[in-house]
A = this chain, B = another copy of it.
Amino acid sequence: MTFSTRINKAIARTGSVTCVGLDPRKAQLPAPLRDSLADQSPQAWAQAYAQFCCEIIDVVQDIVPCVKPQAAFFEQLGPAGMVALGDVIAHAANAGLIVITDGKRNDIGSTATAYADAYLGSAAGIAAAGGDPATASPWGGDALTVSPYLGRDSIEPFVDVCDRRAAGVFVLVKTSNPGGGFLQDLRCGEQTVYQTVADLVTSLNQERLDADGYGPIGAVVGATYPEQLVELRAAMPHSILLVPGFGAQGGAADDVRAALDESGRGAVINSSRGIIFAHARAEFSQQYGDAKWQDAVRAATEEMNAQLKK
């Protein structure tokens, strides 16, 4: 079973297209975790980040198909943070979740291969494809976000590893930030830069389609640009879309449903802050607050699932 088949099956099984973004931030951790810190060392914070993310995983594991740990916040703690990232990925994979590591990595040729080898392929995904789970990547996730600035020959090494380890990548096509258009919207002859990247993604998927017509090369398309989301869903019919920008960044449920195919699959919609820091949101803080932050996470996840099902 390929990555695309596996994520679509997980969507069908859970009845959810919600991807929970694991973006731990010191200032916003629930009070019980901040209060239990042994000291202010990176090691202590890394342990708090790991506990925070692992508890979120425990709370959402039966109601969402996947989680997306954001590498930057773990890297911000130095090496100790990266050890915590490894623990979080392992915990999510053991819970049966698909893990998309958000690292926006890339480099030239053989260095891109090193990143692919590092992050692509979980034991569960490889086993589901009939391979040897012992060949899983050292980080053990299923997919990685990848930047396209270095061109086609920087994406191909990732595709090779996807083929070998039943893994996936999500290429940045149209990002959710206000200034994303600076390069992405430049019009070069017939089409924009983001359309050029979308065409590359579609061409790389072409010979790798599963029974539902999906391939291993997904794409990141922000919820904050609804018109382009419709356009890019059509331009990349073989890609699982990873849609950030829902909730806290302003993307609405009506807009992001355009990312899904007719059977309600083919995309996952990410929310980070809106779910993981739900204890601080007006609608949940009264009922749950910091003390019951895990219940707030569950409630916010169920709320998002319901919004996207309407």
Contacts and interface: CB of A to CB of B under 8 A. Distances in A.
Contacts of A189: 186-187
B187 A104 contact: no
Nearest to A272: B111
Complex copy number for this chain:
2
B152 A182 contact: yes
A68 to B, nearest CB: 12
A51 interface: no
A73 B113 CA distance: 9
B86 A78 contact: yes
Interface in A136-171: 137-139, 147-154
Interface string A180-216: 1111101111000100110010000000000000000
Contacts of A179: 150-154
A147 B106 contact: yes
Main secondary structure of the interface of A (DSSP, over half): helix
A153 B177 contact: yes
A82 interface: yes
Contacts of A119: 75
A12 B28 CA distance: 46
User: Which of A23, A85, A179, A196: most chain B Cβ within 10 A?
Assistant: A179
Contacts of A23: 111
Contacts of A184: 149, 151
13 contacts: A70-B107, A72-B114, A75-B119, A76-B115, A79-B82, A82-B83, A108-B176, A109-B177, A147-B149, A149-B184, A151-B179, A154-B177, A188-B188
Given A70-B114, A72-B111, A150-B180, 20 more contacts: A42-B138, A70-B107, A70-B111, A73-B114, A77-B138, A78-B86, A78-B137, A81-B138, A82-B83, A104-B105, A104-B106, A148-B183, A150-B179, A151-B175, A151-B177, A151-B180, A151-B181, A151-B184, A186-B188, A186-B196
Interface of A: 23, 42, 70, 72-73, 75-79, 81-83, 85-86, 102, 104-109, 111-112, 114-115, 117-119, 137-139, 147-154, 172, 175-184, 186-189, 193, 196-197, 200
- The 10 nearest A-B residue pairs measured at CB: A78-B138, A151-B182, A153-B179, A108-B177, A82-B82, A79-B86, A151-B179, A186-B188, A72-B114, A188-B188
